[in-house]
Amino acid sequence: MAGYFVKVAWGWTFCLLLPFIALTNYHLTGKAGLVLRRLSTLLVGTAIWYVCTVIFSSVEHYTGSCYQSPALEGLRKEHQNKQQCHQEGGFWHGFDISGHSFLLTFCALMIVEEMAVLHEVKTDRSHSLHTAITGLVVALGFLTLIWVWMFLCTAVYFHNLSQKVFGTLFGLLGWYGTYGFWYLKSFSPGLPPQTSRLNLKQDSYKK
């Protein structure tokens, strides 16, 4: 059950970040075009998730072989891919980069980046917008705690060290490549609307 929950981690993150980004960014800018531009970060995130999943699957395929048992006994050369191997009751063994480590790292960091906009948001406590944003903040905070906990469980119980390191590195690369580099450019979805932070990052990049 927990494993399946992690497999759809991007779906949970996407569904909560979409209304959060839309509400907070529109409240701060009042510009629908800018909001749509910022929401495209979710499409970028989806593309990163998909591409990395394909890469991980390809690596496992090209480095793997089919065996008769989990102890890697009895090489079955007639089965050349994981699906065929499993259908015939075999066990596929290859370099299985930890998709959980990648996804949980990327999702948690993306949530933290987007929630940093909160210190710019000022709403009337009696307004429905305040209630909506507060509810999303609580949900995103709870989700982040779950992702961190799941990441620690993965680190302790699943995959070997190198597989977890590679998975985590892909997650860090996806985060830094977007929020730390590309989103500083004008032809990008851009960073959350935080004037002081945006100027600081842009000045640092120019240097």
Could you report how far apart the first and last alpha carbons of the chain are, in Å? 48
**Dihedrals phi, psi of 87, to nearest 5 degrees:** -65, -30
Catalytic residues: 100, 159
Measured distance CA(55)–CA(106) in Å, rounded: 16
Tokens of 114: 């987007």
Name 167's Cβ contacts closer than 8 Å, sequence gap at least 6.
56, 97, 98, 99, 100, 101, 102, 105, 159
Measured distance CA(101)–CA(167) in Å, rounded: 5
Element (H, E) at 67: strand 65-67
Tokens of 27: 């409240």
